[in-house]
Structure 1
Amino acid sequence: MSKFMEVAANRDYSKSWQAPGSFPWIFQQPKPPIEKRVIGVRENYIRCAKGEQPYWMPAYFYESNIVWPDAMEEHPVPEVDGYDWWGVNWIMVDSAGGMITKPDTRAISDFSRWKEELNWPDLSLVDFRTDGQKIQKMLDPERPHVYECVEGIFERLHEMLPFEESLMAFYEEPELLEEFFQKMADYKIESTQKIIDYYGRIDGVLYHDDWGTQRSGFFSNEMFREQIMPATKRFMDYLKKKVAFIELHSCGKNIQYVPMMLEMGIDMWTPQLFINEPDYLHSTYGKVMTFTFPLMIEPQWKEDEIRRAVREFVDHFGENGRVMCWIMTENFNQDQEDIARDELYRYSLTYYNQRFGRN
């Protein structure tokens, strides 16, 4: 057992471990109940994710609960500078609001030696049961519960050694790379099953794997299909048997991969803001995939301006019932968010009743 795995194996998971104010801590906090609606919030959210004629347009993030286990040490726990259970060294970047791997960190000396050098986490040593009991107490039974499955199959590769070396493996060691990705898919399946077993109801999985830059994907479509897709699809096939929907978090301008996302069974993508064109995604794929698009509320807007912007958003993106609205305000302005969510529910409820022939 590595010294990093030993820390994870001996942690007291009855305690809350995340640093107050960090994103894991924010995700874990209980949310206020949502007022009674025409159908359950959970049912409506799943309808939207699956393209099954929701009754209103969900307010993204607000209407779901994120399941972020302390017992999954894909990042340091607590999320401050330190090591995860793979032995990867992470640092917090306050300006980005998250963690990155420390430059030049490596958990293996060379990709060609991963079989000899890499210490795979022994999940049997971790007290998922106690952590799951703790996390469940903070989940709203009326909301969908979404497991935040971070550090995907490709991300984990380039976290273990410098990024350029991970890309070279695609050319220099394609067969060994396929073995690595398939073994990582095994790990993802095993670890996700722990969450399903011990954390109560899991309705969806939000799978993280960043595939692109600000300009395009990292890989040609051919390389993606040949080397990223097989192991990823095997994990997606497992998820489809276990949860109601699969959401993808993949930073970068990754529009080119949407057809393959669909082939892998991904129901929903929250594209990185400002570099993926919402109108193109909506017009091209809006009938077959659900998207989350942002609604930016200007700080000077009054109530009538906020409500008008919400109505325009619904009119623009609501036709297929496959868009969620991510309401964004400056400095998390609660009053503006309350107004926007109220209008989103009321207006989109009427809109969808008309759109889908409900009376």
Structure 2
Amino acid sequence: MNQRENFQAMLNGGRPEFIPYFVELNNLGLMGTNNADQPFFGGVDPFGVNWIATKEGVIPEPNKFMFDDVADWKKYVHFPDIDSLGIDEAAQVELPNFNREEKIVNVFSGVGLFERLATFMGFENTLCSLIEDPESCKEFFEAFAEYKIACHNRFIDVYHPDVITYFDDIATANGLFMSPTVYRDLIKPSHKRIIEAITSRGVIFAQHTCGKCEEIIEDFVEMGARIWTPAQISNDIEGILEKYKGRLIVEGGWDSSGPVSYINASTEDVIAEGERCAKQYGQKGNYIFLPILMNEKGNSILVGDSRLEPLAEAWHKVDKL
């Protein structure tokens, strides 16, 4: 089996021949969300938020908020014309480099509903607003979901992806930013609309949520997510793999907060972590290996790293099922 065929077997609940390695499995479509959501190298996004580039990635300019009362969001938030975002042009640049016969096409969609509100008013104001003015928050999430759906439809029209990975980090390493009840009341209904809009067009939905979010994995599966990424070890990954086999693919498993993810982690330590992931998670049959290696320039998957090649070589010695 090639990467695409092996992934399809896993998606269908069958037994793949080998444990997929994220880097080798995916043709990544990144430029569409760069234009629509988050400029990867810094600058002003279509909503007027200025992003500052760091070696770890880009962040909204600190302490520069668009508003501090969520009830005022309509005064400040102006949704851009989808035609003005250059998504079609982005696809024309990226698509010629894709190998659809061997790999899957995975288009990223950054800055989800909760994340976007935080870019406008900061995390503290956003979290307080969920409690103090839930109606205005829900109204914002519903409106912003419309924007995301429009972007996703354009992504599908021009990229024809197999997967859309939607980013919304709503958890810390210790648990959700909000209670499961608040998530289900205020955010989940709009998440559900986003997921249904994608899956109704025959595209696989992948939910990117870092941190300990195991309390709402059942919600993700119920809404139609088929992939959860990047599963971090603060969650019961083995239990989730067992419980949702045939319904959910778990992508990640890397100890992204431990020494193996420090900038000075040795090649030997990196290889050992890959072997642990293969042994501990890979044999379940619904797991994709995704290493999170940081170096002085940033995330190695995006900027390169001398440790990736020996990691891949070692991985292929242990990736058989």
Aligned to 1:206: 165
Q: Over residues 145-193 of structure 1, what are the superposed CA-to-partner deviations in whole Å (9 max), with x where a residue is unaligned?
A: 0010100011111111122221222223222222211111111110111
TM-score under structure 1 length normalisation: 0.75
Runs (4+) off by over 6 Å: 295-298
Matched, 1:337 2:297: no
**In structure 1, distance between residues paired with 2:136 and 2:274:** 51
Structure 1 residue 314, shift from structure 2 partner: 4.0
TM-score under structure 2 length normalisation: 0.83
Aligned to 1:75: 38
**In structure 1, distance between residues paired with 2:274 and 2:167:** 30
**In structure 1, distance between residues paired with 2:62 and 2:12:** 39
Structure 1 residue 329, shift from structure 2 partner: 6.7
8 Å Cα contact 1:108/1:118 also seen in 2: no
Give the number of aligned pairs.
Answer: 301
Alpha carbons of structure 1 residues 329 and 143: separation in structure 2 relative to 1, 3 Å: same
The amino acid of 2:316's aligned partner reads: D
Matched, 1:164 2:131: no
**In structure 1, distance between residues paired with 2:247 and 2:181:** 22
Aligned to 2:266: 299
* SS of aligned partner of 2:97: coil
Give the % identical residues: 25
Structure 1 residue 313, shift from structure 2 partner: 4.6
The amino acid of 2:238's aligned partner reads: D
**In structure 1, distance between residues paired with 2:131 and 2:316:** 52
Structure 1 residue 203, shift from structure 2 partner: 0.2
8 Å Cα contact 1:327/1:340 also seen in 2: no
8 Å Cα contact 1:181/1:231 also seen in 2: yes
Structure 1 residue 53, shift from structure 2 partner: 2.8
Matched, 1:147 2:107: yes
Structure 1 residue 114, shift from structure 2 partner: 1.4
Segments of structure 2 that go 5 or more residues without pairing to the other structure are 295-304
Alpha carbons of structure 1 residues 335 and 72: separation in structure 2 relative to 1, 3 Å: closer
The amino acid of 2:313's aligned partner reads: I
Q: 1:91 aligns with which of 52, 60, 63?
A: 52
8 Å Cα contact 1:149/1:208 also seen in 2: yes
* SS of aligned partner of 1:161: helix
Segments of structure 1 that go 5 or more residues without pairing to the other structure are 1-38, 352-359
8 Å Cα contact 1:307/1:340 also seen in 2: no
Structure 1 residue 144, shift from structure 2 partner: 0.3
Aligned to 2:280: 316
Structure 1 residue 64, shift from structure 2 partner: 0.8
8 Å Cα contact 1:240/1:265 also seen in 2: yes
Larger radius of gyration, structure 1 or 2? 1
Aligned to 2:298: none
